[in-house]
Structure 1
Amino acid sequence: MILNGTSSSDVRVVVTAHDEEGISIFQSDRTQQPFMPFGPGGSSFSTFDTRSSLPINNQDEPQDLQNMMPRPEPAGVTFCIANMAPQHSSPMHRTLSLDYCAVLSGEIVLELDGGEEKTIKAGEVVVQQGVNHVWHNRTDEVCKIVFVMVGAETVKLANGQELGNILNGK
């Protein structure tokens, strides 16, 4: 959908910083178009900021992240939005991160690899700790989810097995 020449899933990003004297300033004010790696009928992502390590250096200038899948560095953090297309599912996947997720609009079904499912609606949140999962949008509306992804250690089971990044169950 186009509104005033801008896609309805474009996001305005305002970035603050400091000038040479330490006065607060607006560093940038831009509109970011979503990245659609699965084509126009699939999900899209808007990655607004990613930092490679914590604590963050607030003097670093944010990077241009227009065409990036949201994944944090092992000791970093990523801030993004995912737009899940209607009647669309993500592949089964696990990331090495702690993900704070908040559904902004619509609803989404979170399925775990053991088969359990929960429906998460607008205004509800998920704290996801490196689990293998699928997102299902079983509605006829786009589901918009904001994520803050924090790099995490590999999950280690009692038997010593490590659970790393996976996509499509591999």
Structure 2
Amino acid sequence: MSAPSPTNDRVVITTHKPDGTSVFQSDRSVAPFSPFGAGKSSFSVLDTRASVPVNNLEAAKEFSETLPRTPSGGVTFCVTNMAPGSSAPMHRTATIDYAVVVSGAVVLELDGGEEKTVKAGEFIVQQGVNHAWHNRTGEVCKIAFVMVSAEKIRLGSGVELEETVF
């Protein structure tokens, strides 16, 4: 297989033979999905599983042209490429998100007005908060996420916070 183009994400997936020997299941290039148009943010869903714990003998599927959405009880591994000067609106996911900024920098804004800039090589653990993303730089910001389904947040008043994805 030839090397993927620089705009694609390469994902190497392993599995097992029936006798238990480790093998490569696939080595493929995942083209970013740009649902909001050219020059906007793009997404590459690298893997999604319907439940945790995961069955490591289950064949991994392809998720081209898919927005990252984690099934209830499941997990998603994905990449977001935020275009320079772009933003993602305020939203909440029903997940705990483990993220690493791979390149560039992003501003994470919370609904209370607080903001933090997170740069390449830095990490985020996001626990179902209402948030927005802003790339206020002149370069693409690449963020890798592992999104794990989480229980709904129940406030002391008994109100449950709902997912508000865009």
* RMSD (Å) for aligned C-alpha atoms: 1.4
Q: 2:10 maps to which residue?
A: 12
Partner residue of 1:156 out of 114, 136, 154: 154
Q: 2:92·2:128 contact (CA, 8 Å) conserved in 1?
A: yes
Q: 2:50·2:75 contact (CA, 8 Å) conserved in 1?
A: yes
Q: 1:131 maps to which residue?
A: 129
Aligned identity (percent) is: 57
Q: 2:46 maps to which residue?
A: 48
Q: 1:72 maps to which residue?
A: 70
For the residue of structure 2 that corresponds to 1:128, the secondary structure is strand
The TM-score, its normalising length taken from structure 2, stands at 0.95
Post-superposition CA distance 1:46-102 (Å, at most 9, x none): 011111111100011111101111121121110011000000000111000000010
Give 1:104-123 correspondences, 5 Å limit: 104-123=102-121
Question: How far has the Cα of 1:5 moved from its partner?
Answer: 9.2
Distance 1:17 1:6, change over 3 A: closer
Q: Which 5+ residue runs of structure 2 have no aligned equivalent?
A: none
Range with greater deviation from structure 2 (146-155 or 17-26): 17-26
Distance 1:48 1:147, change over 3 A: same
For the residue of structure 1 that corresponds to 2:89, the secondary structure is coil
Q: Could you tell me which amino acid in structure 2 is paired with residue 94 of structure 1?
A: R
Aligned counterparts of 2:138 and 2:41: Cα–Cα separation in 1: 14
Q: 1:97 maps to which residue?
A: 95
Range with greater deviation from structure 2 (112-121 or 11-20): 11-20
Distance 1:162 1:106, change over 3 A: same
Question: How far has the Cα of 1:23 moved from its partner?
Answer: 1.0
Q: How many residues align?
A: 165
Q: Could you tell me which amino acid in structure 2 is paired with residue 69 of structure 1?
A: L
Aligned counterparts of 1:37 and 1:17: Cα–Cα separation in 2: 31
Aligned counterparts of 2:15 and 2:56: Cα–Cα separation in 1: 8
Question: How far has the Cα of 1:21 moved from its partner?
Answer: 1.7
1:60 matched to 2:54? The reply is: no
Partner residue of 2:85 out of 73, 84, 87: 87
Question: How far has the Cα of 1:9 moved from its partner?
Answer: 2.3
Q: 1:141 maps to which residue?
A: 139
Question: How far has the Cα of 1:20 moved from its partner?
Answer: 2.0
Q: 1:39 maps to which residue?
A: 37
